[in-house]
Structure 1
Amino acid sequence: MEEQKALGADVDDDMIRTVKSSLMGPLAGIGDSLIQATVLPLLTTIAISLTGTGPYSPLGVIAFIIATPILLWVYARFLFNKGYELGKDAITMLMGSAIENIKVAVQLFGIVIIGALSASYVKLTTPLQFAASADADPVVLQSIIDGVFPNVLSLLLVVGCWYLVAKKGVSVTKMIFGLMAAVLVLGLVGIL
């Protein structure tokens, strides 16, 4: 519309401002979901895994520093060119059923990433052991749990935290402090 106005077409300034204001939120939401909530955490996770745990490697930091601007540039350039090429049709395309498909795909991708992060980084085990008698070998509870369902304690912790935050309205800050208190108490008692 701005290009047409610059070329001499009769386009109202108010209409240009209204379209910009109306589209800013929905289109920024797509970009934020794709980049800030999905791609950058994924790049960060890959960079952290490249850094290693033993003698730390600078490879992860270097990969993140190089990959992030390249990815953002390609992403911005692609969207700028597509927006320019499609013009008004882009708005119609994004506001139709395609926006719902994009939204569902981004949400699904985000859930997969969060699930992968949870499975990789949340580790909850118990050192509890029981013996039938004083001279018998103790049975470690964690080995029995892992034999039935490996990492079920970690899964229950993640699902429990999600339930409290999403369904019961517990704030994330309260959840973090609650987890810290629970880990401290259960650790001192010897359950965790």
Structure 2
Amino acid sequence: MTSNNYIDKNGKKALFTKKDMTKMALNEGALGMEFSWNYERQMHLAFCMMIDPYLEKIYKNDPVGYRLALTRHVEFFNITPQLAPFVGGIAVSMEEAIAKKEMEPESVSNIKTALMGPLSGIGDSIFLGCIRIIALGIGLSFALDGNILGPILYWLIYNIPAFGLRIFGAQKGYELGFSYLDKIQKSGLMNKLMEAAGVLSMIVIGAMSSGMVYTTLGLEIGSGESVQTLQELLDGIMPGIVALGVTWLYYWLLKKRVSPMVLIVCTVIIGIVGAYFGIFVS
């Protein structure tokens, strides 16, 4: 491998270089992952915008393939923004293989879905739960004394690792896809990786369901000193069972092709009405 080009073991040169991947990690789509965020598909437009210049080059002689690729990449996508270029690099390398008929189109959607949950769990913990807190602690200690270094240090401590990871992730993601994905797929290891990522995703979703789905029932059972809320009764059976049940209900409704916007509106209405009549409590 040269300093800027990707070369596999057979001496084959990749379509894109490290410089191309660095540009992808810093383009409008990569830096604007949350600018076009919406409740239905979240970061899908920004992700597609991030890799679009590379899809154009891959499918420059195949307008139908280009259109299908764009359709694939406006599907639901959500991840810690600093890790999006890593997934983008993998996606671009896989699109090269798809354009050459070496890989099924569904594979790129599958790998994106498998990576979102585990990488988000890791990325959010590092950037939101660790680096941001450290940066704020150091920055505020200077700012409270009126020192201009406060905001500067905060910006540097948070953004240096963030931008470093964006660039490194984009380069390594593309390298991984170009050099190893085809080999991994042929060896059967891809299915094992997908299964392992799926298990980790379920663990992350389970933890998020318990901690981030705020559904507390206020209905009371019994009277006097023996009164007990329905929430307490259900938590005695299994803590978090209400939140888990709501999560699975929404998942089932989405599989039935109920629009996410309909679910959002219904949730707001049910929440307001339920809180008014004491069914739900904050």
Q: TM-score, normalised by structure 1?
A: 0.63
In structure 2, the residue corresponding to 1:190 is in which secondary structure?
coil
Does 2:159 correspond to 1:71?
Answer: no
Alignment of 1:103-122 (within 5 A): 103-122=194-213
Q: Distance in 1 between matches of 2:161 and 2:257?
A: 37
Q: Distance in 2 between matches of 1:176 and 1:36?
A: 22
- The aligned amino acid for 2:245 is L
Match of 2:278 in 1: 190
Match of 2:217 in 1: 126
Q: CA deviation at 1:186?
A: 0.9
Shift of the 96–160 alpha-carbon distance from structure 1 to 2, 3 Å rule, reads same
Identity %: 17
Q: CA deviation at 1:190?
A: 1.0
- Kindly indicate whether the alpha-carbon contact (under 8 Å) linking 1:165 and 1:171 is maintained by their aligned counterparts in 2: yes
Q: CA deviation at 1:162?
A: 1.2
Q: CA deviation at 1:115?
A: 1.8
**Which structure carries more helix by proportion?**
1
> Which of 238, 256, 262 is residue 149 of structure 1 equivalent to?
238
Q: Distance in 2 between matches of 1:38 and 1:64?
A: 22
Match of 1:11 in 2: none
Match of 1:8 in 2: none
Does 2:117 correspond to 1:58?
Answer: no
In structure 2, the residue corresponding to 1:114 is in which secondary structure?
helix
- The aligned amino acid for 2:271 is V
Q: Distance in 2 between matches of 1:20 and 1:2?
A: 17
Worse-superposed segment, 121-130 or 33-42: 33-42
Match of 1:43 in 2: 123
> Which of 102, 117, 126 is residue 193 of structure 2 equivalent to?
102
- The aligned amino acid for 1:109 is L
Q: CA deviation at 1:183?
A: 0.8
Match of 1:10 in 2: none
- Kindly indicate whether the alpha-carbon contact (under 8 Å) linking 1:127 and 1:140 is maintained by their aligned counterparts in 2: no
Kindly report the root-mean-square deviation, in angstroms, between the aligned alpha carbons of the 2 structures: 3.8
Shift of the 191–46 alpha-carbon distance from structure 1 to 2, 3 Å rule, reads farther
Q: CA deviation at 1:80?
A: 4.9
Q: Greater CA radius of gyration, 1 or 2? A: 1
Match of 1:7 in 2: none
User: Unpaired segments of 5 or more residues in structure 1?
Assistant: 5-13
Tell me how many residue pairs correspond in the alignment: 168
Worse-superposed segment, 177-186 or 101-110: 101-110
